[in-house]
Amino acid sequence: MHGTGEDTMDDTVLLKFAAAPGSTISVGFEPIGSTFSLSDGDFVHLRTPAANVGKIEVVVWPNGISVEVPYPDEYAILNRDGDVIDWL
């Protein structure tokens, strides 16, 4: 549930966004505008309801990735350790 720290939603998936080894990129999540700088194989996960996977738009730029999610809904951005670092 949003904000409780509990992972009770069984119908969610994790989408991984990563920087290639030796590169640095920005990953932005819209419409909120949360942006993360990743480098050298680092990554974040977007936890999303499974029903929304086909509605997520991903655009790859020369030095970044833009991720547009259907809003409103419950989305969490997790670091490589699985900790929530932001909510959309």
Q: Quickly state the pLDDT bin for 5 (edges 50, 70, 90).
A: very low
Cis before 70 (ω within 30): no
Asked if 65 and 28 count as a contact pair (C-beta separation under 8 A), the reply is: yes
Residue 21 lies in a domain: yes
For residues 4 and 28, the model is more confident at 28
Range of the domain at 53: 12-87
Our CA dihedral for 16, 21, 25, 28, rounded to 10 degrees, sits at 10
Residue 22 lies in a domain: yes
Residue 79 lies in a domain: yes
pLDDT digit string (tens) for 21-39? 999 999 999 988 899 999 9
Asked if 38 and 57 count as a contact pair (C-beta separation under 8 A), the reply is: no
| Domain count within the chain | 1
Q: What is the largest CA-CA distance in the chain?
A: 37
Residue 64 lies in a domain: yes
d(CA 56, CA 58): 7
Left if phi > 0, otherwise alpha if psi is -120 to 50, otherwise beta: which for 80? alpha
Q: Residue 6 above 60 pLDDT?
A: no
Which pTM value belongs to this model? 0.84
pLDDT digit string (tens) for 53-85? 999 999 999 999 999 999 888 899 999 999 999
